[in-house]
Amino acid sequence: MKFDSSEFEKLKYPIHKIPMDQPVLFEFSDLSKFSIIFSANDLPKQLDPDLVLRYLIFMYDLGSPGQGIPDLKRRKTWAMQCLNIEPPYPKHITDMLSWKIKGVNRRAIYFLLLMGGEQYMVWKSAEEALLRYTELEIKLEAEDEAAQAKIVQAEKTRREIINMTMSQITASKNEFLQGEKSKDLDDELTEFTLLDSLGIRPEEYIREFQDKGDVFPDIDA
Amino acid sequence: MRDSKYPYQIADSSVFLNTDDEDLFKIEIPVPTPDQYYNLPYEEAIKKIDGYGFSPDKQKFQYQEMPSKLKDIEAVIRKKKQIKPKEVVRLEDIDEELFSNAAYYSKEIIWIKKQIRRHYKGYFFFNNGKPTYIPGCMYTYLNFWPIGNPKNKDGLPEYRDRDRRWFAGVMYSYTTRDGVFKYKVVYTDGSESFVRYFNNKKSVDEFKEINPQCYVEEGNFIVDTGERTMYGVIYPKHRREGATSRAGFLNWYVTATLGIQRFGGIQSMSDYHSTQVFVDHIAKRLRRMPFFFKLMTEGSSVPKEAIQFTAPANRTAGGVGTTSLPPHEGWINHRPSGERAYDMEKLHFIHHDEVGKVDPKNGINVNIIDRWRVVMKCLAQGPYIHGLGLLTSTLGEMEKGGGDQMKRLILASKFESRNDNGQTASGLFTIFFPAYDGLDGFIDEFGNSIIEDPKRPVKNSDGRLVSIGAKTYLQNKRKSFEASDDQTGLIEEMQNFPFTLKECFMSASKDSSFPVLKIRRRISELTFQPHLTRRYNFEWESGRGSRVILKESDEGKFIISHLPPHGLRNLKEWDPETESWRPSWNVMNRYVLGADPAKYETHEVSGKKKSYHAGAMFYKRDMAIDGDNGTEIKLRSQWNSDKFVLTYKQRDVGREEYADDMAKACVFYGAMLYPEMNITHLYEHFLEWKLGGYLLYDMNEQGEKKPLPGRITTDGSNNSAKQDIFDTWEQYLKDGCEYENHIEILEETANIDGRAEMTKYDLFTAGGYALLGSKSLYPKFVEMNEQASKIDSDLFGTFDYF
């Protein structure tokens, strides 16, 4: 590594202390909880899962010196240097950097979730609120003009809230993604949040039940 | 809020299992009440229950109706995406459709979430005026697990109250942390008091030695041990009652839906049968589950070997699922029937199918107890149990080998018999329903069993009127067998439709002159009275020929039901005429030890089936204790004598050790040895050890003892020793098999199939020799001689002779 190790002291996952021939996944308990993601067999053969994880840490760990490089392209080059990889990059690295590999994208979403849990919660709440307001049916029956005016007002308020919520979604999503703008990454995230919002995929509610011993507590059984 | 004008019944707070069976402990399993389930006051809670507000006769279990929009969703997606009829609609397409049109599907999404919630939490419905709880697993089973029930348009199972209790029982075994203990011990370390619980008296005594200040309380303590205490359930099932379907369903429920990265297995009596259970009762069913219960799996066709809950390799190749979420990564598979097929694996569920059907003649030769021991380790990590075992077998089809093993497993699965860890010996408990509970045709329209005769005819679940209960119906069938004196038919009927656990283990025998039904009944009774016999070893106090002392041991070679009073043990005297020891004349006419030595020594049996060295001691009717006393008649059932008191059956002992064991038993009891003399080593050893006076001879017509003791086994149609043995057994069994205490000897009499099988039934043969020997007049002859001598001696002492 061409950098002074003191620059990396603030890393949440201090991987600079771990030799390159030693996998980092099981060095950190909160990462290893997601081992099913970070060690999944869904990468091109040339791409080592450990290298991907190190790359994500250098890029998106909130304590990484890379956070001081706002330009994401430059930050990626820097992260590659941290991994002793210099341009021109082979195809699998280029694909990784440009979010062309689904397995990398999925890892990135989970890693970002570890880094930006709060932004994610804001965003998710906003998504849920949006769903609620979209589903809301104004059922009051208008018996007189005053009541009719109330219904119109209620509908207006509902639309305003929907618009506000959508802005909130955009802002919190951007913050969560640390400025990354890629359609592939966005799709991965949409898929992730989509399912998270409905929560009716078995892979998801089973995890929920396993962790909390309950699912959909707000639903009347 | 709805209100009801009907006075509904109060919901039960528990269900009961194993009621009304003298050999089973009644188990109470708590279930949620409406107020607990809804977290509302009871009166408010019941208003939320399906069926509230209707009259009781209209309140039944109702299947969930899939909303029409969800029924049509695949067709909608096919149209939108122009998917060809042969192509699969992927789960991710359904997710996309739902989410993209969340407002349109909002009610349907809530309906799906409700199903999932009930899948875990369970469900309440009003059933004939009573709020009734069913566990989550049963809810999904009834609504979404098609079993091919012809009465239901979707093939879904019928609601039965018996199944509700069954599901509650199995899931209780999966969750309970309760231990049952006999002893509560309060002790202190000097500053603080602590409590420990035990079941083993010996452990309590040891603990008391270390903590002499402790206080011991005896009772029946049910204690939360903090960890799971049960590995699962053993269930003798009725034919075609749906237990295999339920077991298949629970395999999926526990393995696939109670957590990720979990593994389920199946073993049956053969590879063919386990494949059948896997394919017919899991793989095919899963394909028809609604999409919100379908995990990602590899491949879309019906698997024959295993279901892997992993992401499909190719998203467009017909794989079931999507790669967008981390997959479950578990599996359900089946393995061959061998004991170690799952050794070293981690399992969360195992179904051992047909555990009572081991049949060595057809190559099905599995030790189901060893196999369960292996699998127990797969279901736990050290003391922490994470899995569930379900062992099932069809009643009436338990073959000899497997039936015996299943019986042993059931005996080791008594709910109330726990070790000091609060667990049963097998880690399982038995669930048994009498045949009249849940019998086809005797289920009312509410799913309840019609057991007793109803006061007025009631409609059953098929819509027919039923005027008698299941119990009367089955009793009528039994009576017809009894009327025609068809023992075999009656036993088969009782085993197929047992009223009690005991009756499960009555197996039908071939035509026999033995009273097989009586024998089987006694065997069934003795199965649950193991305390009537104990295992012991005998030891010479100071070398062969000295006094014999008794040592109780779980591994003892002798099974003993009666010991002579202390003053009547080791009574022997020197006979100068024969220069050997013999029993004292006042005890020698009591006990006869029949002996059937093995034909070969252990080292001689290469390539031959090993036989056993056997011995059986018969206690002749003892008039001193079992005679009538004046006008007072002592009933046969009160006798201590006229029955077997000791058995011995050992394979891996040498001839000398066997002879030594027989000698010790004879000396201790004062018994006479009546050996099979085709092999003479017992006779030779007794003579060599100066114990010839313990050998029992027959007398000839002239009142002289025969030259050799015992008998030589001969075969032939008439007057052969083998025929004599069968005749004497027949007489003994007809007179008093209901008073016999040795199950091991009765089992051989029940199973033996004619004279040709005598070589395989060593205890039967030894017992036969004991019965034959008990008829010998020789001891009486000796006794009379001794009494005559005594009189002579007295007379000599009275008169002066010149």
User: Considering CB atoms only, which of A42, A195, A220 is closest to B325?
Assistant: A195
**DSSP labels, B725-768:** HHHHHHHHHHHHGGG---HHHHHHHHH--SGGGGGG-HHHHHHH
Q: Do A203 and B95 touch (CB under 8 A)?
A: no
Cβ distance of B116 and A216 shorter than 8 Å:
yes
Among the partner-chain residues B99, B117, B327, the one whose CB lies closest to the CB of A219 is B117
pLDDT at B800: 40
Residue of B nearest to A106 (CA): B324
Is a pLDDT exceeding 90 seen at residue A70?
no
Is-contact A52 A79, C-beta < 8 A?
no
What confidence category does residue B501 fall into, taking pLDDT thresholds of 50, 70 and 90? confident
Q: What mean pLDDT comes out for the span B524-548?
A: 91
pLDDT reported for residue B627: 83
pLDDT value for B360? 64
Identify which of A172, A167, A162, A163 has the alpha carbon closest to the alpha carbon of residue A131.
A162
Report the C-alpha gap between B372 and B348 in whole angstroms.
Answer: 14
Pick the residue from chain A with its C-alpha nearest to B50: A221
pLDDT of residue B605: 44
Minimum Cα–Cα distance from B294: chain A residue: A202
Give which of B92, B99, B108 to mutate to test A binding, by max A Cβ within 10 Å: B99
Confidence at B318, pLDDT banded by 50, 70, 90: very low
With CB atoms and an 8 Å threshold, state whether A37 touches B329. no
Answer for the pair B482, B701: CB distance below 8 angstroms, yes or no.
no
pLDDT of residue A136: 60
CA distance B423 to chain A (A): 25
B324, pLDDT greater than 70: no
ipTM above 0.95 for this complex: no
For residue B97, the model assigns a pLDDT of 82
- Average of per-residue pLDDT across B126-149: 97
Print the SS3 string covering B691-720. Answer: CHHHECEEECCCCCEEEEECECCCCCCCCC
User: What pLDDT sits at residue B801?
Assistant: 36
Asked if B645 and B619 count as a contact pair (C-beta separation under 8 A), the reply is: yes
Is any Cβ of chain A less than 8 angstroms from the Cβ of B134?
no
- Per-residue confidence at B343, pLDDT binned at 50, 70, 90? very high
Phi, psi angle pair for B17, to nearest 5°:
-120, 155
Residue A210 has pLDDT above 80, yes or no: yes
Q: How confident is the model at residue B607 (pLDDT cuts 50, 70, 90)?
A: very low
Q: Is the pLDDT of residue A188 over 70?
A: yes
Q: Among all chains, which residue has been given the structure tokens 């509230």? A: B52
Residue B253 contacts A where some CB pair is shorter than 8 Å: no
List, for residues B661-679, the tens digit of each pLDDT value: 999 999 999 999 999 998 8
Does A99 have pLDDT greater than 70? yes
Asked if A59 and A76 touch (Cβ cutoff 8 Å), the reply is yes
The mean pLDDT of chain B is 88
Between residues B107 and A79, the one the model is more confident about: A79
Nearest Cα neighbor of B247 from B66, B446, B119, B394 is: B394
> For residue B315, what pLDDT is reported?
34
Is residue B124 within 8 A of residue B54, CB to CB? The reply is no
Residues of chain B found within 8 Å of residue A188, distances taken between Cβ atoms: 324
Q: How confident is the model at residue A148 (pLDDT cuts 50, 70, 90)?
A: confident
Q: Does B599 touch chain A (CB under 8 A)?
A: no
* Nearest to B765, CA basis, from B632, B682, B675, B660: B675
Residue of A nearest to B49 (CA): A221
B50 touches chain A (CB under 8 A): no
Classify each residue of B188-223 as buried b or exposed e, where b means 16 or more C-beta atoms within 10 Å of its C-beta. Answer: eeeeeeeebbbbeeeebeebeeebeebeeeeeebee
On the question of pLDDT at A192 being above 70, the answer is no
Whole-angstrom Cα distance, residue B583 to residue B692?
Answer: 10
- What gap in Å lies between CA A41 and CA A19, rounded to an integer? 23
Q: What are the b/e assignments for B388-407, b being 16+ CB within 10 Å?
A: bbbbbbbbbebbebbbbbbb
Q: Which two tokens stand for residue B404?
A: 């015996």
Nearest-CA distance from A208 to chain B in Å? 9
Q: Which of B302-306, B309-313, B317-321, B619-623 has the lowest mean pLDDT?
A: B317-321
> E strands, A83-135, where?
none
pLDDT tens-digit series, residues A109-120: 888 888 876 776
Please state, in angstroms and as integers, the Cα–Cα distance from residue B665 to each residue in B47, B257, B593, B690, following that order: 74, 60, 8, 15
